[in-house]
Structure 1
């Protein structure tokens, strides 16, 4: 039985690194996970508590934040304990359950990125269709489908891993059978949950880029199409609203494009090394290289809220409002304690 994994997101095997490696690994991963957990929880809170944030795109971003939280909690935090202790400490239930949740968070995130890219494509390239196709109700159905189908697929990992005892009598969470037999699974994961959604996303952003940047008449045509469906023409207020809507739409598109770019860059090391190790007679398991691959994954799950706050005025304002309202003492005057239009609680 070959207990070594191709490359796990959490330490399933005995860590042979030095004290320096253990300290660096634990500190780096804990820092990234802390930032990511706080940031993704804030994304979920601001969207759920702000009525004006209830849009189809933000529905996908909330689901992406939940997927990132699963990755950080099921992979990042066990990695910290594995780095410090040097062996598996989460028991049999953790061994069979944690890999399932890891792959669930990994796989659904790629298709949520594809989903919000498709939504952006419809909004930009087919604005009239977007009124009926890009709705919150439809987004919720798509999200439920992605979670459901991917959850069923990931149940496979309940039967693929188990606790093993190393020669030094330490426990590790590893494969049940020979490592080479997992090659079809890793190749299937690589194709279905990385290459396919990534290529689809790149293709859709190619169409979006053609409309936004290569066609100088696209914005004028978009305005004429709106006017032909009952919009008034020439009113300053309508012109101002149109410019504001166009600017907001383009800002959101640029922000999501950065999310996709970082997803492709940060996931490539792990997604490449996992199937590659299935081909090698001796898998490449250098601790520092594995730490780099894992940290890239955790960083991808942690960086999205930072992107939202830097590139979206709406998210930045919502984050600031959330932090400000949570920090206000309960005994401040009522007019200073109103958040998102909610009435202030009575003084105690």
Structure 2
């Protein structure tokens, strides 16, 4: 049984441990299947192995910390954090179920894990990606209503509604990922002993192209349009409110105290939704949350866009179906970026959110850290009270 051209083209660069030479000898009668599995090209394997391993370790630790931080701290159980917990769950699912299989596949020229894992791994990968992007879209809409339509948000953006939305997102993700069960195939290749590849079904070009365009729209184009519109409106509104606040502050008499200043700027009689925050600290927290969520969205798009676009262009013949040499390394890099996104979110929260940093430290250090932090806060409060007694006009001077 000789290798047909369509099957030969299917390899698609997905078996990272294989080289061009290994592919050429596959069609030869002298090909030794047992010997081929003992040959590793570490120049190609090393980078992928390191990235997958780091993603696995950092992703599990980081996403578990997110879930522990949200579940173990009553103050962290907000509507937005409920969505972030769902996002962390999707990342954990991808990391625990898919990365071990990806690592195992690096050390085999063919697919040795069976038909069930061939379809299952790619299906789960698609489910988690869809779930992640739908969750990010839901967060952007929740922020939109909270900031631009605060009255509607009181009955739309509730915790119970968030739980129902998350359930709907997961169910919808399982349904929307179904085309992958048809587009991915487990096929026999080579001469006896017959081996298998787990690849896209390129023998049906129309189905292949539909699947890649479908994923491009569902994972990239449609969510980006919704999130881009929502966050643009939010940023414009926040900027306008901050500009108005600055103008009001400059128009105030110099004799006004800090408390009177804040009361004037945040007065509910001023018809500005964002100005209804109770304090300047609330406004700063709002801006920090917006920056953090925009960063999460940007990282998701940066990590997933190259692979989705590459696959779509490849299905239309812009790139060869069999991707040797430079094309193979480029596609491998795009796959690594997509998986690495699963460990990025905890790092973003840690760098950009003080609440998450404190919760991470509590989860890592336990009650001992919490008691020490309370003692430090008590000392700080005592020192502040002492300073105010010594300088009674300090508040007015601020």
Aligned twin of 1:312: 353
Asked if the contact 1:32–1:299 (Cα under 8 Å) also holds between the matched residues in 2, the reply is yes
Asked if the contact 1:277–1:284 (Cα under 8 Å) also holds between the matched residues in 2, the reply is no
Aligned twin of 2:311: 274
The equivalent position to 1:300 in structure 2, one of 331, 341, 344, is: 341
Q: Which runs of 5+ in 2 are unaligned?
A: 1-5, 21-40, 249-263, 375-398
How far 1:203 moved relative to its partner? Answer: 0.8
Structure 1 length as normaliser, TM-score?
Answer: 0.82
Please give the alpha-carbon distance, in whole angstroms, between the structure 1 residues aligned to 2:162 and 2:202. 40
How far 1:226 moved relative to its partner? Answer: 7.6
Describe the SS at the equivalent of 1:110: helix
Asked if the contact 1:39–1:305 (Cα under 8 Å) also holds between the matched residues in 2, the reply is yes
Describe the SS at the equivalent of 2:185: strand
Please give the alpha-carbon distance, in whole angstroms, between the structure 2 residues aligned to 1:2 and 1:108. 32
What is the alpha-carbon root mean square deviation over aligned residues?
3.2
Residues 33, 5 of structure 1: alpha-carbon distance in 2 compared, 3 angstrom cutoff = farther
Residues 4, 141 of structure 1: alpha-carbon distance in 2 compared, 3 angstrom cutoff = farther
The equivalent position to 1:178 in structure 2, one of 203, 206, 216, is: 203
Q: What is the CA deviation profile of residues 34-63 of structure 1, one whole-angstrom value per residue up to 9, with x for unaligned ones? A: 211221121112112221111110111111
Residues 7, 42 of structure 1: alpha-carbon distance in 2 compared, 3 angstrom cutoff = farther
Residues 182, 79 of structure 1: alpha-carbon distance in 2 compared, 3 angstrom cutoff = same
Asked if the contact 1:266–1:300 (Cα under 8 Å) also holds between the matched residues in 2, the reply is yes
Aligned twin of 1:35: 58
Asked if the contact 2:180–2:211 (Cα under 8 Å) also holds between the matched residues in 1, the reply is no
Describe the SS at the equivalent of 2:190: coil
How far 1:195 moved relative to its partner? Answer: 0.5
Please give the alpha-carbon distance, in whole angstroms, between the structure 2 residues aligned to 1:212 and 1:316. 25
Residues 122, 225 of structure 1: alpha-carbon distance in 2 compared, 3 angstrom cutoff = farther
Aligned residues: 323
Aligned twin of 1:85: 108
Asked if the contact 2:15–2:109 (Cα under 8 Å) also holds between the matched residues in 1, the reply is no
Q: Which runs of 5+ in 1 are unaligned?
A: 229-237, 329-333, 339-348
Residue 151 of structure 2 corresponds to residue 128 of structure 1: yes
The structure whose Rg is larger is: 2
Aligned twin of 2:26: none
